[in-house]
Structure 1
Amino acid sequence: MKPELLYVDDEVGNLVVFEAAFEDDFQITLAQSAEEVLELMEERAFAVVVADHRMPRMTGVELLEILRERHPLTKRILLTGYTDPAAMIDSINRGQVFHYVRKPWERHELLAILRRAFEAHDLEIANQTLTNQLIAADRLATLGQATARIAHEMGNQLCMLPLLEVMQGEFAGNPRMQKIAGFATQTYERLVALVEEVKKFVRQEHEEFDRRPLALDELIQELVSFLRFDRKIDVTRVHAQLRDAPPVLGNRFKLQQVLTNLIKNASDAIDGREDGWIRISLQQDGDRVRIDVSDNGCGIPESIAERVWQPFFTTKGANGNGLGLDVCRRLVESHGGSIACDSVCGAGTTFSISLPAADSASAAAYSRTSTGLKAALPVISRPEQ
């Protein structure tokens, strides 16, 4: 596509001449007033704005001065018939113009200036992107050092397994205590796996995690039951609608890590709403299996919808680190799946996870025989088929 530029002049004849001169080189948007330019710039950003100096109500210099504040990356070019050096200096200082062009302009000279303006804009964007990447890399390095220390200390504290084994032996005849000890054992195993994952990340080791056919309905029921012990989540607001679906080839811990993160985000979104709810639905979608985690919470503004996947971006202030959704996306993609977000500000959000179903050989090898855990899980609603 041709580069886009915006040209403003209150005289129609000048607009026609400019467009005819450069329409083969650029995609040109025309405006007849400074006010119109400001409205257009709110709708979409232009890399280059060319303004006539002398216009009613607001001069070109005044317009470029405003653009300098609101859109600093836009390259600003001023066309003028004035030859007063003082006026030239004033326009350069106030509007920080990229180039000051005297009328009447020559096509080849102005074309060269316009091309340089686009090159300067692209270079500045590239430099800004590189700077942001360097800042992110520095933050990741600092985070990695801190995380390594935390993981080491967490590992030192994970000495609860012998205690759990004592509980299971002492209360062998008490089903309730056995169930509690079972949940505690699962928590211990999750923490051990998480500490090892953090250590591998810090050492920059490529992790090939174990995968096996999983029944997602059992995985979700197990997770919801486990979340009853999380004080930050009101599990009575969590509703699961699970349809029969083929198993997927995946890692139980990793997929539960993704769903836990999404449910906690949904819980934050409905905080303070008396009628707030979180819904987890499971269904087959062709040769894939889809999990939706929905809520009727505050939603995500459209202006930041794409940024939620960026590392370190968070809307939770000091309560968030901005890494949750980035980790979720990476884990889902490592399973050959995809994750998407559909949100309406003030109405709610749905995160959809699509995973490939396990092939027939893997599915045939998988047995849905209960391991004893399923009997201990809460009854979760299933829609009529």
Structure 2
Amino acid sequence: MSAPNVRVLYIDDEENNLQAFKASFRRQYEIYTAISAAEGLKILENISVQVILADQKMPGTTGVEFFKSITDSYPDPIRILLTGYTDIEALADAINHGDIYRYITKPWNDLELHNSIKNAYDAYKSKIDLRNKVAELEKTNDELNRFIYSISHELRAPLVSAMGIVNLVKMEGLYESSGEYWSLIETCSNKLDYYIQKTLQYYKNNKTVSEHSLIDFHKLIPGLIDLYSYADKETTFNTVIDQKVPFYGDAFRIEVILGNLISNAIKYQKETELNKKVNIHIAVRKDQVEMSINDNGMGILNEHLEKIFTQFFKSKVNHGSGLGLFIVKEALNKINGKIAVSSDPAEGTTFKITIPNVK
């Protein structure tokens, strides 16, 4: 391997070792040498090296100690330890903490050392390539998310106009004048609006930085019920809110979580159920809020309970986007919340949520 562009730093307190190393490898690598850890650090401040070799037994600072000291400030170079004696405990500790790539005993074998440097450089390239690819993927993902967000906003304007026309037709008593066409337009418009809303929620949940504010559940819960039940007059809501202490949290994400769960509780009621009901219980404590949302709807099959928080998961009876509960779980992860679900197709479903009180 002839690769003079590979920059190698060798630190050793014995000048003879430095000279021997340089003589052996100067044609293959760009060599930098330092007689102490302090001098090696100065070289690192000015030269971007890819592989660092250090002797273990140096006065003041050992090789392992030097590698540990540069882990945060210079994480990229691959580190190789040279040692004339075997300190198993120090070596094991360094390897376990990722401080060294490998160690070689002294006196070294030129071929073995050459292969180790070559492999170390390959590891360095792989690390940098991976980081660049991750950064590229993150950039592409961010651009895609912004594109979807922009398109979703653009779609909402004509959609709202179409829904407004349907409402005008209803007001003028012409809704039934064209058979099922107006009903079909309204159904399709509502479904498209639902998908757009979920897309916007997903984007905002990923991008929005948590902002903590005082939350009054006595105001929040009735407002969400009114918002999501405006088209449903059959479901009865029973709410119990116990809030005697202030609660501080991420209002946006808490609204997203509760909104999705309340919406699902309404949407998945049994068509044949005469007494459709949703029970909401909120208990605010000093350290957290405990919330329970229970319905007597169609329930969830046991084999689906572990899958319902998966992105785009839909059962045969679920005609939604497959994003609602995924967004709920992601939002809870952002605010260190937890969720549990229990369900019986004959009795309904209960979601229990806990969210820390950040104040």
TM-score under structure 1 length normalisation: 0.41
Query: Looking at CA atoms only, which structure, 1 or 2, has the larger radius of gyration?
Result: 2
- Pick the structure with more helix per residue: 1
